[in-house]
Structure 1
C-alpha cells in the first residue's frame, strides 16, 4: 500500500500525509488527556515510515524530533523539556533509536517504491508501445492486402463431434468483401454455408479447405461460378495457418476462356483439315477417272466434250476452294485490299444470283428477290460484295431441304443499307449462333454431307467489315430457317457514275409511258424538256418553283421528278428533302438537273436524297436510260 501511495503525484501524497498526521494528532491528544501525556508521543512513530516514504528522510527526522520534544514536554516535570527521571530518559532514548530505525526503513521503502514505480511505468509504457506496434502491424497488413487488389480471406473451422462441420469467415480484405455485395463486417463471423460470394459452392469450399485446417500444407484449385455476369472462373491458392486457412483467389476467366478457345480452335483445325482433304478428293476423283477415260481408244466426240466439261467444272470447284483459302490468308495478314467503285447494287446482286443459281435450281427452291423502288448505288468492291452475297445464297440453298424458299431483300434508310438472305431451312440452334462466324465453323455438324470448308461465313464477315459494315445472323431455332444480313453504312451510298455517251445505246423508238414532273425556274428550259419527254410518250407536268412542286405533289403522283437545284425561294435541295420525308413520295425517283457538277455538289445532292445527278446540258440518251432503269426497278 505504501509503495502504491508513493507513486501518487505530489498533490495526492500531501493530501494523504495531512490526513494521516491529523488522525495521529487527534489520537495523540486523546491519549494525552487519558494518560496525562506520558508516552503518547510514541504514537508518532507509527507514521514515521509513511511520512518518510511520502516526503523523504528529512520529513521523518523532523517528525521524530517533534515527537521527542513533545514527549519531553509532557514528561515530569510537565511543561519543561528537562527529563530528570532515568526511566524517562531511557524511554526517550529507546524512542529515538526506534524512530531512527523507522526513518531508515521508510527511506528504504521509498527507494523500493521508486524502483517499483519506474518498473511499473516502464511496463505500462512497454504495453502501450506493444499495443501501438500491434495496431501499426495490423494497419500495414490491411493496407498491403487491400492495395494488392487481389481477394484474400481467412477462414476458421468449426468442429462438431470431432470433425469440421463448417467454416467461418475470419478476415476479408476489401477486394474479397466486394464479391459479397455486403460490408465486410457483416460477413466476418458468418458461416460459409450461409454467406459466401454469389454463385460459389459452399460444399466445395468445405471439401477443399477443411483438410488444410486439420493439418499443414497448401492447395490450389479452380472454382467455376455461374453468376449474374455469366460463367466465371476463379483460381484459389490456400494454405494452413495455425488451425485456420488463408487463401488468395483471382479471376482467371480470361485465361480459362482463352484455353477453351485454343482447344476449340485446335478441334476446328482438325475438322478443317479433314474437311479439306474430303473436299479436295471430291473433284480429284472424277478428274482422275476422266484421265483414264481419255486414254481409252475409240473415244467419241460427245464423250470427249463431256470429259472436258467435267474437267472444267471440277477444276473450277478446286479453284474456288483455293481462292477461299488464299482470301482468308490475305485477310489474316492484312494484305487484302478492296477495289472500290461506284456500282449499282442491283448489278452486284445479279452477279451473286448468277453464281448461286445452279445450286438454287438443283434443289428446286422458290427464289424471291425484293428490291426497293429506287435504285441504290454504293461505293464497294463489286467482286467481293458479290462473293459475299453468293456465299450467303449458296449456304441458304445448301442448308434448305429441296423445294424450300430462299428470299433476298434489300432495304435502305438514313442509317444503313440492309441486304438480307432468308430461308426456311434447317435453322441454327441458339447456342451455335455466337460461333457461326468463327473460322472452320460449320452450320451443320454433318459437314461432310453438305460440303464446304467452314470458312465461307468467316471470310464473308471479314469482307463486309473491310467495307465498314457488319454481317449478322438470326434464327428462331432448329428447322425454323435462318436469316443472314449485310449491313452497309449509309455513307457507302453514292451517286451513280456518269454513263459514257458512246456506251449508251440509242433511245428505243418505243418506250413505256411514265408520269414525270419537271421543275425548273427557267421557263424555256422546262418547256423544252417537257416537250422532249412528251414526244417519247411520257405523261409530263411542269412547274417553275419549289413551292409549286411541293403543292402539285398533293394531288399528282409522278414516278420521276426532274428537279433543278437553283430554284428561287425553296431550293431544289430543300424540295428533295421534303419529298423524301413524305411517305407518299419517299420512293419516287429524283433526278437532279443542274449546272453544278463538282464532287462536292454531287455529295450534296446524294445527301438530299437524289438518285441521279446530271449537269446541263443533259445528254438525252443518259437521261432516258436513267428514267427507264429507275422505273424498271421492282
Structure 2
C-alpha cells in the first residue's frame, strides 16, 4: 500500500500524509486521555515509515525529533525537558533507536517504490505503445486493402461434429462490402448461408472454401453471378490462414465478354469466308458458262449480245462485292474520306432508287416515297449517302416477300434530318436488333437467305457516322416488318450555291404551275419578276414590304415565296422566320433574292429557313429549277 501511495502525484501524497498523521494524532490523544500520557508518544513511530516514503528522509527525521520532544514533555515531570526516571530514559532510547530504524526502512521503501513506479510506468508505456502499434498496423492493413480496390474477405469456419458446416464473414474491405445489398445489414459475424453478395451461390462458397479451412492449401476458381447489372464473372483466389480462409476476387466480366466477343467474331469470320466463297461462285458460274458458249461455232449475234449482257451484269455484281470489302478496309484503317458538297436530298433518293430498282421490279414491290414538305439540301458525300440509302432499299427488297410494300420517308426539323426505309417483310427479332450492325452479321442467316456478305449494314453505319449522324433499326418482331432510319444533324442542312446553267427557254411547257409570292421593295424589280413568272403560267402576288408580306399570308397561301432581304422596316430574314413559325406556311419553299452573296450571308439565310439563295440578277434557269423543286424535292 505504501509503495502504491508513493507513486501518486504530490497533491495526492499530501492528502494521504495529512490524513494518516491526523489519524495517528487522534489515536494518540485518545490514549493520552486514557493512560495519562504514558508511552503514547511511541505511536508517532507508526507514521515514520509512511512519512519517510511519502515525503523523504528529512520529513521522517523531523517527525522522529518531534516525537522525541513530545515524549519528553509528557513524561514526569510533565512539561519539563528533564527526564528523571530511568525507565523513561530507556523508553526514549528505545524510541530513538526504533525510530531511526523505521526512518531508514522508510528510505529503502521509498527507493523500492520509485523503482516499482518506474517499472510499472515502463510496463504501462510499453503496453500503450504495443496497443498503438497494433492500431497502426490494423489501420495500415485496412488502408492497403481498401486502396487496392480489389474485393477481399476473411471467413472463419463453424465446425460441428468434426466437419465445417458453414462459414462466417470475419473481415471485408470496402470493395467487398459494396457488393452486398444495403438490406443485408450487419455482414461481419453473419453466416455465408444467409448473407452473401447479390447473386452468389452459398453452396459454391462452402464447397470451395471449406476444404481450405480444414487443411492448408490454396485454390483459384471463377464464379458466374447473375446480379442486378446482368451476368458478371469473378475470379477468386483463396488460401488458408491459421484456421480461417482469406480470399481476393476480381471482376473479370470485361475479359470474359471480350473473349466471348472474340469467339463470336471468329465464328462470324468463318461464316463470312464461307459466304464470300458462295457469293463469288454465284457470278463466276455464269461467267464460266458464257465463256464456253462464246467458244461454240455458229454463235448468233443475238446469243452473243446475251452473253455480253450476262458478263456485264455478273462482273458488276462481283465489283460491288469487292467495293464493299475495300470500303470496309478503308474505314477500318481510317483512310476513307468524304467528299462533301451541297446536294439535294431528292437527287440522293433518285440515285438510291436506281440502285435498288432491278430487285424492286424483279419482286414486284410497291415503293412509296414520302418527301419532306419543302426542298432540302444537305452538305454530304453524295455518292456515299446514295450508297447507304441504296443498301437500305436493297435490304428491304431482299427481305420482303414478293409484292410487298416499302416506304421511303424524309422529315426535317430543328434537331435533325431523318430519312427512313420501312418494309412489311420478315422483320427482325428483338434480341437480334443490337447485332445486325456488327461486321459479317446476317439479318436472318437461317431463313430467306438472299445473298450478301453481311457487311452492308456495318458499312452503312460507319459511313453515316462519318457524316456525324447515326443509323438506327426497329422492328415489331418476326414477320412484322422493319424500319431503318438515317439520322443526320440539322447542321447538315445548307442553302445550295448557284451553279452555271445551260441555256434554257424562258418558258418551259413542262413546268407545273405554282402559287408564288414576290416580296421586293424595288417596285420595278418586283413587277418585272412578277411579269416573267406570269408568262410561265404561275399565279403570282406581289408586295413591296415585309409588313405587307406578313399581312397577305393571312388570306393567301403561296407555295413559293421569292423574298428580298434588304427590305425597309421588317427585313427579309425577319419575314422568313415569321413564315417558318406560322403553321400554315412553315413548309413553303422560300427563295432569297438579294445582292449579298458571301458565305456568311448564305449562313444567315440558311439559319432563317431559306431553301435557296440567289444573288441579283437572278438566273432564270436556276430560278425555274428551284420552283420546280418545290414540287419534286424530297
> Normalising to structure 2: TM-score of the pair?
0.89
CA contact (8 A) 1:473 1:485 kept: yes
1:423 match: 423
Q: Where in structure 1 are there 5+ consecutive unaligned residues?
A: none
1:237 match: 237
Query: Which moved further from structure 2: 145-154 or 424-433?
Result: 145-154
Deviation at 1:279, TM superposition (A): 1.4
1:495 match: 495
Deviation at 1:561, TM superposition (A): 2.3
2:534 match: 534
2:135 match: 135
Give the aligned CA root-mean-square deviation in angstroms: 3.2
Deviation at 1:393, TM superposition (A): 0.8
Deviation at 1:390, TM superposition (A): 1.0
Deviation at 1:182, TM superposition (A): 4.7
1:308 match: 308
- Residues 1:455 and 2:484 aligned together: no
Deviation sequence 1:261-290 (CA, Å, 0-9, x none): 222222222221121122112222222233
- Residues 1:470 and 2:444 aligned together: no
2:263 match: 263
Deviation sequence 1:578-633 (CA, Å, 0-9, x none): 22222222222222233333333333323322223333333333323332342345
2:321 match: 321
1:333 match: 333
Distance of aligned partners of 1:612 and 1:91 in 2 relative to their CA distance in 1, 3 Å threshold: closer
Distance 1:601 1:2 in 2: 106
CA contact (8 A) 1:177 1:184 kept: no
Distance 2:36 2:545 in 1: 146
Deviation at 1:185, TM superposition (A): 8.8
2:368 match: 368
- Secondary structure at the counterpart of residue 141 of structure 2: helix
Deviation at 1:460, TM superposition (A): 0.7
- Residues 1:215 and 2:215 aligned together: yes
- Secondary structure at the counterpart of residue 558 of structure 1: coil
CA contact (8 A) 2:427 2:477 kept: yes
Distance of aligned partners of 1:46 and 1:185 in 2 relative to their CA distance in 1, 3 Å threshold: farther
Deviation at 1:327, TM superposition (A): 0.7
Aligned length: 633
Distance 2:207 2:98 in 1: 79
CA contact (8 A) 1:294 1:304 kept: yes
Deviation at 1:575, TM superposition (A): 1.8
Deviation at 1:240, TM superposition (A): 3.1
CA contact (8 A) 2:184 2:195 kept: no
1:600 match: 600
Deviation at 1:524, TM superposition (A): 2.3
Distance of aligned partners of 1:63 and 1:523 in 2 relative to their CA distance in 1, 3 Å threshold: closer
Deviation at 1:83, TM superposition (A): 5.8
CA contact (8 A) 2:419 2:485 kept: yes
Distance 1:97 1:117 in 2: 30
- Alignment map for 1:37-436 (pairs within 5 Å): 40=40, 42-57=42-57, 59-60=59-60, 81-82=82-83, 85=86, 98-180=98-180, 182=182, 186-436=186-436
Deviation at 1:485, TM superposition (A): 0.7
2:560 match: 560
- Secondary structure at the counterpart of residue 427 of structure 2: coil
Deviation sequence 1:426-454 (CA, Å, 0-9, x none): 21222222222111121112289321111
Deviation sequence 1:510-549 (CA, Å, 0-9, x none): 6543322222222222222222322333222222222222
Q: Where in structure 2 are there 5+ consecutive unaligned residues?
A: none
Distance 1:58 1:593 in 2: 122
Deviation at 1:184, TM superposition (A): 11
Deviation sequence 1:489-512 (CA, Å, 0-9, x none): 222222334353326466434654
Distance of aligned partners of 1:323 and 1:39 in 2 relative to their CA distance in 1, 3 Å threshold: same
CA contact (8 A) 2:559 2:630 kept: no
Distance 1:541 1:429 in 2: 55
Distance 1:297 1:594 in 2: 70
Deviation at 1:23, TM superposition (A): 4.0
Distance of aligned partners of 1:531 and 1:107 in 2 relative to their CA distance in 1, 3 Å threshold: closer
> Normalising to structure 1: TM-score of the pair?
0.89
Query: Which moved further from structure 2: 439-448 or 278-287?
Result: 439-448
Deviation at 1:195, TM superposition (A): 4.3
Distance 1:373 1:54 in 2: 110
CA contact (8 A) 2:517 2:558 kept: yes
Distance 2:16 2:22 in 1: 10
Deviation at 1:391, TM superposition (A): 0.6
Deviation at 1:332, TM superposition (A): 1.2
CA contact (8 A) 1:410 1:417 kept: yes
Deviation sequence 1:323-373 (CA, Å, 0-9, x none): 111111111111112222222221211111111111122222222111124
Distance 2:215 2:434 in 1: 47
Distance 2:603 2:36 in 1: 135
Distance 2:263 2:527 in 1: 74
